[in-house]
Amino acid sequence: MTDGERHRPPLGPVRVTPADPRYRDLIRGVNHRFTGSPGQIRIVGSAEQTVEAVQDAVNAGLQLAVRSGGHCLEDLVDGPDTAFLLDMSEMRQVYYDPGMRAFAVEPGAHLGDVYRTLYKGWGVTVPGGSCPTVAAGGHFAGGGYGPLTRLHGCVVDHLYAVEVVVVDAAGRARLVVASWDDEGELGDLWWAHTGGGGGTFGVVTRYWLRTAGATGSDPAGLLPHPPSAVLDSLVTWSWEGMTAERFRRLMRNHAEWHERNSAADSPYASLFSVLGVMHPSSGVLVMSTQMDATVPDSERLLAAYVDALDEGVGLCPAHTVRARPWLESMLQPTLPDTVTGMRSKGKAAYLRKGYTDGQLDALYRGLTDERYTNPGAGVLFMSYGGAVSAVAPNATATAQRDAVLKALYVTLWREPEEDGGHLAWIRGLYREVYAHSGGVPVPDEVSDGAYVNYPDTDLADPQWNTSGVPWSSLYYKDNYPRLRRVKASWDPKGVFRHALSVEPPASE
């Protein structure tokens, strides 16, 4: 059996128009705030079919958007301007490619598929996200992080090469492979996919993954090995009795612990936690953790972490711990996905250190405002740092390398008529927390911009961003000029664009 036969396309191309009964199932992603109305949806099963689809869109002059898993928080795909939707969801193969000496992952592969195949086949993994239904396509291009990131860095720190459909100045779609071994414009194209975000340079049809410095031809030695078992735990603090002073102390404890314990060689490098500071109507503040169970004294270290967070708070959190196989933990996370099928709005930030007392007081006021009640609203604080900081800010397009936490502000609801109230609340909360810097996390001693995989078009809106700092600097910092040059080289006609896509240089 040839390699082509082994990886034959599962289907396609499939053309779906508004008259097709399948159309309504395909016109929106996870966030039900947004429903597109493209004139055509093209489902593809191979790189060659993708080239053909892109060429058809270019020839027809249709605005093109690309979807792999549908988890985009904004309407960058399902917006009113999308006339031709390219659906990559059936390109889901994960396999070892001996010719590249790397693991190939197609963009429609869910993270759960990636983890399962890599681990069952070779005992390896990539440090991706904890939601198994997110697809590789946008997750990898935006940087990618998750429970093993403090130990092994971002996903893009293991990105060897990309296969991309690009469109040249003559309007011709073609397939290009770019790797970290390349120099010049090809090297730039690879670099742009190490955190430059999706839908801006071309259409990725395949990623190849291999850890930098890995030698030999044994696949089992080319990517990180996850722990054989992990400690999964759930910690809850009751909102009852959570005064402003106690809240400030808990949040300060949490941030200061990460400031102290985010070096790459920390004994806590394998500990990842998500602290959910949800609206009081939810009843509790909740934190999930995952830690390598094979680390010496892992149970004691985990207990010490929880104790450090509660020191001086005095609310005696409930804490349950269970040891599980690593793969089971990744496929069945402690906090399951509750976003799919909901209407939502998200806003993000990187934290170099903990919020100031003034910011914490603004967060507390916003969460406890009696005019707003929603148990699905709050802020998630995710552990970061560790091995992330071992990579230079310009080595990849992922510029924020010294942050110790990521924050995701989120609110979820179901009814369209409630949009205004929920959007007003989350926008107001975010603006108040960052009131000192124009309503957005301008890089300073505490903040370091925002994460492109949690896109927020408000950052490009002067009503909500009064800082004078453009959205592009919040996402890409000093890496943006190079990304703009890559855009000019590889997408000179501006085929791939959305509200937060990289702009061509000003002279173009």
Model confidence pLDDT, tens digit, residues 250-278: 999 999 999 999 999 999 999 999 999 99
Tens of pLDDT, residues 284-293:
999 999 999 9
Q: pLDDT exceeding 70 applies to what percent of the chain?
A: 98
Is the pLDDT at 508 greater than 60? The verdict is: no
Helix-, strand-, coil-residue percentages of the chain, each rounded to 5:
30, 20, 45
Is the pLDDT at 466 greater than 70? The verdict is: yes
Tens of pLDDT, residues 411-436:
999 999 999 999 999 999 999 999 99
- Which segments of 342-414 does DSSP mark as H helices, in order? 357-368
Instruction: Output the six-digit token pair for 158.
Output: 């293991």
What pLDDT score does 10 carry?
A: 76
Mean pLDDT score of the chain: 96
What pLDDT score does 1 carry?
A: 38
Tens of pLDDT, residues 359-415:
999 999 999 999 999 999 999 999 999 999 999 999 999 999 999 999 999 999 999
Domains and CATH numbers, the chain: 93-167+188-226 (3.30.465.10), 229-476 (3.40.462.20)
The reported pTM is 0.96
Question: What's the average model confidence in pLDDT over 310-331?
Answer: 96
The span from the CA of 102 to the CA of 348, in Å, is 32
Please enumerate in sequence order all residues whose Cβ is within 8 A of that of 117, keeping only pairs 6 or more positions apart, or say none.
94, 95
Is the pLDDT at 2 greater than 70? The verdict is: no
* pLDDT confidence tier of residue 12, bands split at 50, 70 and 90: confident
Strand partners, 135: 110
Tens of pLDDT, residues 231-247:
999 999 999 999 999 99
Tens of pLDDT, residues 323-342:
999 999 999 998 877 778 89
CB 274 within 8 A of CB 287: yes
The span from the CA of 148 to the CA of 96, in Å, is 21
Query: Ramachandran region of residue 234, left (φ > 0), alpha (ψ -120 to 50) or beta?
Result: beta
CB 192 within 8 A of CB 491: no
The span from the CA of 128 to the CA of 131, in Å, is 9
